[in-house]
Amino acid sequence: MSKFEYKENNLLNEKLDQQIKEKPLKGSPDTHPLDISEESSDEEDKVSDELPEFVPTNRGRRTSISAESIEPSLFTKIKIPKSDVQCQRIRMALADNFLFCRLDEEQVNDVVNAMAVKSIKASSEVIKQGDPGDYFYVVESGELDCSIDHQKVTVLKPKDSFGELALMYNAPRAATIVANEDCVLYALDRITFRSILMDNTSQKRIMYERFLSEVPIFKSLEAYERHKISDALESVVFEDKDVIIREGDVGEDFYLIESGEAIFYKTLEDGTRKQVMIGKKGDYFGELALINDEPRAVSVISNGRLKCATLRKNAFTRLLGPVMDILKRNSENYHAVLQQSLQ
């Protein structure tokens, strides 16, 4: 979250409370992956004693957005030419913005592609308090003064962003932004902004409901139960050889593999590690530590690029009640299957 966003939100709470009422964003026996028995080659059995460095994932809170809806027919993806350096600067700014940091890669690409380069002369007014909002901005170069009720509250510098509040809530501009020198900005239009941000949740819900309907343990659920789980799932991407969970660690998340492969390793008595299985699309892991409140039983490492849907521990307990018996039943077979794979 940018420094401007902190200051602006604090100053605007009263005004927004008057204008806005936020709504939350919408959006036969089964087998555990380890029940699949496959013979591994000698090469697969031998793995390095050292696991790759753990790469933590950044999880932020969900945001709430309300107001107008944008008809899908009004949104057409566009790509405005920019250099690789410019695209990277935009990405860095979006990563620090509370609205954009939760978008998946494709959505971030849509935002970056749609941003137009705007040159602003010194003393030019970029947005005016009280006016309708048409664009979201990222600062590429130069500095701009931000004022509320004619009082300067902060200075915006390169990589800062502004203008999202009026677009989020369909409210008038809450501040005036004036360039105090020649500046270069990246601008995202209102329709693209709201289409990507507002459709993010509904698109994810549809995708996850379809995905869950294909996962054996969730097939028996009612549609509304899958709907609840879909809303709670978060997408996370791992690069090759990222450690997703480490044997012995405390469990905090449940994982469903959306695409890619994950390799499961178990530490042997002599301290070496052995591959026990490969997880693929539709497989799940991480539930054993959550069900039994025990440390992670295996380490799981991405084999190439891996995309997972994750469910936090509290949501796992609250939402997976209908399939908990199946999960527990599968977990009872876990140790026997694991021992068999280690022989």
Token match 């600067």: residue? Answer: 89
Q: Cβ contacts of residue 219 below 8 Å, gap of 6+? A: 30, 213
Token match 């996850």: residue? Answer: 208
Amino acid identity of residue 197, one-letter, is L
Phi, psi torsion values for 157, nearest 5 degrees:
-125, 175
Residue 71 assigned as binding residue: no
Residue 296 assigned as binding residue: yes
Residue 222 assigned as binding residue: no
Residue 226 assigned as binding residue: no
Q: 3-state secondary structure string, 223-270? A: HHHHHHHHHHCEEEEECCCCEEECCCCCCCEEEEEEEEEEEEEEECCC
Burial code (b: 16+ CB inside 10 Å, e: under 16) for 265-275 equals bbbeeeeebbb
- Please answer whether residues 247 and 236 qualify as being in contact, where contact means their C-beta atoms are separated by less than 8 angstroms: no
Residues annotated within the binding site for 3',5'-cyclic AMP are 164, 173, 287, 296
Residues annotated within the binding site are 164, 173, 287, 296
